[in-house]
Structure 1
């Protein structure tokens, strides 16, 4: 067991519960107002390991494995990986945990789910923090997006039925490691961390579940667009990394949010909670508190 695992196991506990017809896994600890953390691709709740202890000093932390990811149930790709159903998972989970509202933090695709949930259920979200979230996939107009999208070739590749699974099965570590090698500091996500991610993505159904969100993205975008009436009043923090989105979202975010702050995370690529956790945590705590 690594030092991170030992520290987390002393302060946090693992749970599984069945909501909306699926078994979800989450890790929780701390005391205070609730904060729900939603991971990106190709990650799991584990991406928050550096962030959780500091948050737990003043908040009750819930780090969730989304439907089909991590140690949550792997259900067939056709079984509801669109935004509306993923948000139905979250709503049922909040009700099961008796949480009237939460502070919501999402990275990458987890940010897309967090944004969708805020649009669908704004009364259940106190504050929303998004990290390197590709909101143009949900129809936000960003002039620089065409250049950014060139680095996101995998989004379209993952939408191709069956072929990605056929090419990647048995090579999960090679494929995932390629993405993590783009980090500002490639050592930030070490071999043991990659082991943890590969463990779940290489499990039966792990790849298909991971790709199913991309395959439902057009349907999800239409769902969110239909629910997005006017600007959000929920306070929004957008964290962009130095190497990826940077501050290109400054003006576009004003299209969708009345109260928004953008921050560039220095010395970091896309994997901000793992690459520069101290700065990331500092910004998050300042926003949430």
Structure 2
């Protein structure tokens, strides 16, 4: 968030992101890929595996529920009124209001954001990490675009993903949750079971929501194993030909 250009079209949807990834793969001449989609990236990965199945050899997702399959419930504030829930997702559904309330307080918001779903909070997520995120989001337009992408399109995506129930993803799907997220197998299956023909759940040890930040070694090994065990080998490409080559114009 904050390291790419802003969308001129304003299309911050999972479909638009998937289309951009396919365009990049075409440019790099990469035919088949192993997909791991984390958080909002899970919806992008789901689009790739659903609509571009010939390009995807395996799909794993982490720490997310698709709209129409539970996300619209998870975003609601919890009855206990504590700060551990995901009330910010409901706030993001109205990007104008969210930007108005968070602008100028990016670092304060991120301090809570990383803390509220972590395994060991500040022990892993460094202050430098928070500062980098805050600086990226403080650039003009980036805070708003983040909210648009993360949840501003929730109800359009709700309608988009509904047909998955009758036309599920036909690749084996692995769903990852950090152990501190406390998502049991039956809940995970309830969220993702209807979306694909084969679903398994894996719990990431010593991690909460922030899988790659809190247990990067475990996650990297998991992705390596997924690549090695794919029924169809992903494309191997030498990108050395891009060295010293102009590619943006």
* TM-score interval (norm. to shorter): 0.7 to 0.9
User: Are 1:112 and 2:43 matched, yes or no?
Assistant: yes
Q: 1:129 to 1:71 in 2, by over 3 A?
A: same
Cα gap change, 1:205/1:252 in structure 2, threshold over 3 Å: closer, same or farther?
closer
Tell me the equivalent position of 2:98.
164
Establish whether residue 224 from structure 1 lines up as the match of residue 156 from structure 2.
no
User: 78-87 or 97-106: which moved more?
Assistant: 78-87
Whole-angstrom CA distance in 1 between matches of 2:225 and 2:76: 29
Which whole-Å CA distance do the structure 1 matches of 2:57 and 2:106 have between them? 37
CA distance in structure 2 between the partners assigned to 1:116 and 1:107 by the alignment = 13
Residues 120-176 of structure 1, C-alpha deviations (whole Å, 9 max, x = no match): 2111111111010122xx21259xx65986311111101124121122111111111
Aligned pair in 2 of structure 1 residues 276, 161: CA closer, same or farther (>3 Å)?
closer
TM-score normalized with structure 1 length: 0.68
Work out whether 1:275 is the aligned partner of 2:214.
yes
Contact 1:141 1:252 in 2 (8 A): yes
69, 89, 92: which is aligned to 2:20? 89
1:44 maps to what in 2?
Answer: none
Question: Higher relative CO (CA 8 A, sep ≥ 6), structure 1 or 2?
Answer: 2
Q: What TM-score do you get using the length of structure 2 for normalisation?
A: 0.78
Pair 1:240-2:169 in alignment: no
Alpha-carbon separation, structure 2, partners of 1:269 and 1:129: 17
Deviations 1:34-60 (A, max 9, x none): xxxxxxxxxxxxxxxxxxxxxxxxxxx
**1:181 is paired with a residue of what secondary structure?**
helix
Bigger helix share: 2
Query: Is contact 2:206–2:215 with CA below 8 Å preserved after alignment?
Result: yes
Residues 95 and 147 in structure 2, CA contact (< 8 A), matched pair in contact too: no
For residues 246-285 of structure 1, what are the structure 2 equivalents within 5 Å?
246-247=183-184, 248-285=187-224
The DSSP-based 3-state class of the residue aligned with 1:71 is coil
- Shift of residue 238, structure 1, vs aligned partner: 0.8
More strand by share: 1
In 1, Cα distance between equivalents of 2:165 and 2:181: 26
Task: Give the CA RMSD over aligned residues.
Answer: 2.3
- In the other structure, the counterpart of 1:188 is 124
Q: Give distance in 1, aligned partners of 2:75 and 2:170.
A: 30
User: How has the CA–CA distance of structure 1 residues 251 and 287 changed in structure 2, closer, same or farther, with 3 Å as cutoff?
Assistant: farther
CA contact (8 A) 2:37 2:45 kept: yes
C-alpha deviation, 1:251, in angstroms: 4.7
Q: CA deviation at 1:117?
A: 2.2
Secondary structure at the counterpart of residue 260 of structure 1: strand
Runs of 5+ unmatched residues, structure 2: 79-84, 229-249
- Once the two structures are TM-superposed, the CA of residue 237 in structure 1 deviates from its matched residue by 1.4
CA distance in structure 2 between the partners assigned to 1:184 and 1:227 by the alignment: 32
The number of residue pairs the alignment matches comes to: 216
Residues 161 and 195 of structure 1: is their aligned pair in 2 closer, same or farther, counting only changes over 3 Å?
closer
Report if aligned partners of 2:75, 2:90 keep a CA contact under 8 Å in 1. Answer: no
Distance in 2 between residues matched to 1:167 and 1:148, nearest whole Å: 18
